[in-house]
Amino acid sequence: MTTVSKAGRRKPPRSVIPGFGITLGFTLAYLSLIVLIPLAGVFFKSAGLGWEGIWHVVSSPRVLAALKLSFGAALIAALINAVFGPLVAWVFVRYRFPGKRFFDAVIDLPFALPTAVAGIALTALYSANGWVGQFLEPLGIKVAFTPVGVIVAMTFIGLPFVVRTVQPVLEEAEKELEEAAATLGASRWQTISQVILPTVLPALLTGFALAFARAVGEYGSVIFIAGNLPMVSEIAPLLIIIKLEEFDYAGATAIAATMLVLSFSLLLMINGLQAWARRRHGHGR
């Protein structure tokens, strides 16, 4: 409760947690130890190569191919999840069907499943003699040990981020707006594009960013199904591991720093789109 002093001034309500100074200091110290100092170490180690040395490492054909595969496959996987993730969330929110709780729990499986187990399972499923691969192989479609397998693995581990981000927004969305749009003669596409999509767009962009960030750095579930062929299906995190095994620590940190800069730039752009979508949705109300 707000109290009144003898001078007649109102004192602010007492905070449940410690004051701003203590919490801010703890937050900055925690973030520095967990995030800032390790990231600064990456840049500091790679700086020992100099700009020419860093450019020599990053511009090599093998590194460029690995970076292209990691970021390209992560972007494609995130886009796939951005399309199908909201559909899955919509089904869970708006419909009742047998086994709904079971399938709803299955969505979180990539969170709990060890990445190596997921990679082995996907490889066994999509290999030439796997349950799914044996039907795709006669059609000339190869998934395992190709870049397509990388996209499949990244889509698998990124789906929960989109579904769990969009699902609460759909649960809180007002169904009356959809019914009013239908009453006014709006088609299904008009209802989706002008009523539903503006509501879920900020959450969808957040889920897209999370899925993309997770896919870029994914290692365990990808290396088993990728095949790890240089210049073909070798991802950047694996190339960093190879550099470390060769005791080329500066080269490994140079690749890591490049991935960090690219990821941060893309996430900054996505966050800008998210802020724009929120402002647009706020003005549209």
Q: What's the CATH number where 79 sits?
A: 1.10.3720.10
Share of the chain above pLDDT 90, in %: 26
3-state helix, strand, coil in the chain (%, to 5): 75, 0, 20
Q: Find which of 49-53, 181-185, 257-261 is predicted with most confidence, using mean pLDDT.
A: 257-261
Burial 10-43 (b: 16+ CB within 10 A, else e): eeeeeeeeeeeeeeeeeeeeeeeeeeeeeeeebe
pLDDT of 187 over the 80 cut:
no
Q: Which amino acid is at 20?
A: F
Q: Is residue 80 part of a domain?
A: yes
Q: Is residue 2 part of a domain?
A: no
pLDDT of 78 over the 90 cut:
yes
Q: Which amino acid is at 62?
A: R
pLDDT in the model for residue 81: 95
Distances (CA, A) of 147 to 22, 35, 101, 121, 144: 49, 31, 33, 17, 8
Burial 61-93 (b: 16+ CB within 10 A, else e): eebebbbebbbebbbbbbebbbeebbebbbebe
Asked which of 26, 47, 68 is the last residue of a domain, the reply is 47
pLDDT in the model for residue 228: 86
Instruction: Tell whether 90 and 118 lie within a shared domain.
Output: yes
Instruction: Tell whether 176 and 41 lie within a shared domain.
Output: no
Q: Is residue 1 part of a domain?
A: no
Instruction: Tell whether 68 and 122 lie within a shared domain.
Output: yes
Instruction: Tell whether 59 and 126 lie within a shared domain.
Output: yes
Instruction: Tell whether 40 and 58 lie within a shared domain.
Output: no
Instruction: Tell whether 151 and 238 lie within a shared domain.
Output: yes
- The tens digit of pLDDT for each residue in 5-48 reads 555 566 656 666 666 778 878 888 888 888 888 888 888 888 87
Q: Is residue 9 part of a domain?
A: no
* Structural domain span for residue 35: 16-47
Instruction: Tell whether 223 and 173 lie within a shared domain.
Output: yes
- Phi then psi for residue 3, to 5 deg, are -105, 155
Instruction: Tell whether 149 and 42 lie within a shared domain.
Output: no
Instruction: Tell whether 76 and 178 lie within a shared domain.
Output: yes
Instruction: Tell whether 42 and 139 lie within a shared domain.
Output: no
Q: Which two tokens stand for residue 82?
A: 């951005």
Cα separation, 120 vs 221, whole angstroms: 7
pLDDT band for 164, please (50, 70, 90 cuts).
very high
Q: Is residue 10 part of a domain?
A: no
- The tens digit of pLDDT for each residue in 211-270 reads 998 999 888 889 999 888 889 889 999 999 999 998 988 889 999 999 988 888 888 888
Instruction: Tell whether 37 and 176 lie within a shared domain.
Output: no
User: What residue spans of 127-196 are helical by DSSP H?
Assistant: 133-136, 147-172, 175-183, 188-191
Instruction: Tell whether 34 and 119 lie within a shared domain.
Output: no
Q: Is residue 277 part of a domain?
A: yes
pLDDT in the model for residue 10: 63
Q: How many domains does the chain have?
A: 2
